Every structure is written in C-alpha cells, then in structure tokens.
C-alpha cells in the first residue's frame, strides 16, 4: 500500500520563476492538504483540495495555487517566487469520511536563489 508520494524531492529556482510540485495521496484517500515548513518551524497550512476544488485556504497569497485531478492527485503551483518561499513543502492526505490522522509525504525541498 503506497503512502503519500511527492515529487520532485529537491529543486532550485531563482526569484521570479514559477514552480509546480506534485503529490499522490495514500491509496483510498480523497482529500489533499498542502503545508509549508520553513527551516526550524512547524508546518503551516496552505490549502486543502477535495472533489477537485479548493475547500479551505490558509494565510497565503494568491501566488500559491493548486489543483486536484480526478485520480485525487494534486499539484501546488507557486508563481513569482521570492527568497522567502524557500521551504519544505509537505503534502498530507486523508479520507474525507475519516477523522483525525494526517498522512504526510516526505516533502519537496524548494530553494529559491
């Protein structure tokens, strides 16, 4: 049973560029949440996707956008990258009918130069 998988694992971009990160949820899960984890800090909620729609959003600018596909996989897009966007981006999945545990992927480490 595959867990949450994310790609790429590492990437380097320059300021102003755009990036797309990808996530496949755990088998049987239909809800995907994205988190940003800056160095030395806890994960911060970016947004959540369910039934191919953004259902909830944290305190992140519109430069952060996402998408969910019919197979429940998801993408996180960040436009006009800033140095401060350097972080570990985590994807977590749950099953909408379940409550509680989040299953996290290993993350995508983004460095903005």
- Residues near another protein, by CB under 8 A: 4, 31, 33, 35, 40-45, 48, 56, 58, 90, 92, 94, 99-107
The whole-angstrom separation of Cα 53 and Cα 25 is 15
By DSSP bridging, strand 53-57 and strand 44-50 are: antiparallel
Of residues 27 and 41, the one with the C-beta less far from another protein: 41
Task: Please report how close the Cβ of residue 54 comes to another protein at its closest, in angstroms.
Answer: 12
Note whether 86 and 111 are within 8 A (CB).
yes
Task: Please report how close the Cβ of residue 17 comes to another protein at its closest, in angstroms.
Answer: 25
Of residues 9 and 17, the one with the C-beta less far from another protein: 9
Expressed in percent and rounded to 5, the helix, strand and coil fractions of the chain are: 5, 50, 45
Of residues 15 and 54, the one with the C-beta less far from another protein: 54
Task: Please report how close the Cβ of residue 112 comes to another protein at its closest, in angstroms.
Answer: 20
Note whether 99 and 2 are within 8 A (CB).
no
Q: Is 24 exposed, middle or buried (0-12, 13-18, 19+ CB in 10 A)?
A: buried
Task: Please report how close the Cβ of residue 16 comes to another protein at its closest, in angstroms.
Answer: 29
Of residues 18 and 47, the one with the C-beta less far from another protein: 47
């Amino acid at each position: 049973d595959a867990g949450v998988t994310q790609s790429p694992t590492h990437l380097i971009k320059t300021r102003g560029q755009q990036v797309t990160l990808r996530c496949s949820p755990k088998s049987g899960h239909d809800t995907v949440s994205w988190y940003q984890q800056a160095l030395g800090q806890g994960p911060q909620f970016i947004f959540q996707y369910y039934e191919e729609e953004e259902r909830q959003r944290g305190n992140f600018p519109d430069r952060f956008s996402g998408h969910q596909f019919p197979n429940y996989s998801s993408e996180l897009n960040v436009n006009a990258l800033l140095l401060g966007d350097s972080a570990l981006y985590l994807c977590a999945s749950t099953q909408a009918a379940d409550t509680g545990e989040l299953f996290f992927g290993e993350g995508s480490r983004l460095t903005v130069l």
